[in-house]
Structure 1
Amino acid sequence: MTDFLDTPEGPDWLHDAINALICGDNVTAPRAHGKSVALDQVDTTDPSATKNFTGMGGFKGTAIKPTYLMRKATEVFGPCGEGWGWTVLEDRFDEGGPLQAPTKEWPEAPRINAKLHTLKIELWYLGKDGQKCTVQHYGHTPFVLLQQGKIITDWEAAKKSLTDAIGKCLQGQRRGMDSLSGDAGTSSSHQSVP
């Protein structure tokens, strides 16, 4: 991969960019795949790309939709599979507590435990100067659960866990998508690999 600063227009762009930053102007940085991305574009989340949620124990918050983060990653790093992607490191089902168990009133009741689908991925992307950067995270989804008094199975659990893991990796890399420096160093989970 050719370093942009080694191209004929590179030094002029850098000179102009430094002057613009000194003057407090926004700078648009060149990126691979012929795209340019404004420096503050990845740090500002479109409010329509967020959703409210209620977690375990009633915790409430706002999350960025994973599809929005994936679209941003594609804009900044290039197509999935070329400029960024992931590898599945772990794929398993974890057993939880009982949803149904034998009781005094129903001694022959089958024991049914909750099950959680767990997926660990390593997300990679091409950072500054084309180096491969990685981040790992888990995604979880209830697979066998109690919902409105009924034991149900969510057959979409694996897909949801993958989406959850990708979203968690990308959410931590929003600063890593900084289009000028490629510096994801503000995230403690970021590491460069050869």
Structure 2
Amino acid sequence: MPQLPTTAKAQSTQPSTATSNGGVQVPAARIAEQSITAFGLAEVVTDIETDEVTLCIASDAQLTDYRGASVSEAAALARQLREKADQIEALANEYAEKVVLPAFYREFRIELEEYNTASLFADAPELAAGFNAFCAHRPDGSFLVAVPAGQKPILRLAAIRELARDLLKRKEAQA
């Protein structure tokens, strides 16, 4: 199999606090404590006395703001929840990048290489979207993992975890 061209090595953005592990720079876990809360309730209720149908919404988990609402108010609540969901996803990506992935790299002795999928799959660009990670289990027990440059940390973690799990299962089956 031809060797893939390397475009970048995973490196720490905090070299003074980084430790090297098998060629991978692993930053110290630094993430600010933060909390993002998202709650939304929308329901259509029927008054049992008048048989009137009402759209009701609430944005507080204790339902302190439960009220009848217009369609546009319910749509505005949905937009707010999407914004909060994006913030929650960004927080999860930051946590994965700064805390989970470095620990995972250390635990499984992973050397990470990032590849530019546009150039890697220049002859077959439709394949680029399907490339999440490639993993080689080395004789010393460490892993060489190739991933797309710029891949979201949550996707990277899922891809690497599945590859490592599969390789370890195969190794156990052979033993």
TM-score (norm 1): 0.30
Larger radius of gyration between Structure 1 and Structure 2: 2
User: Which has the larger strand fraction?
Assistant: 1
- Choose between structure 1 and 2 for higher RCO, CA contacts under 8 A separated by at least 6 residues: 2
TM-score (norm 2): 0.32
User: Which has the larger helix fraction?
Assistant: 2
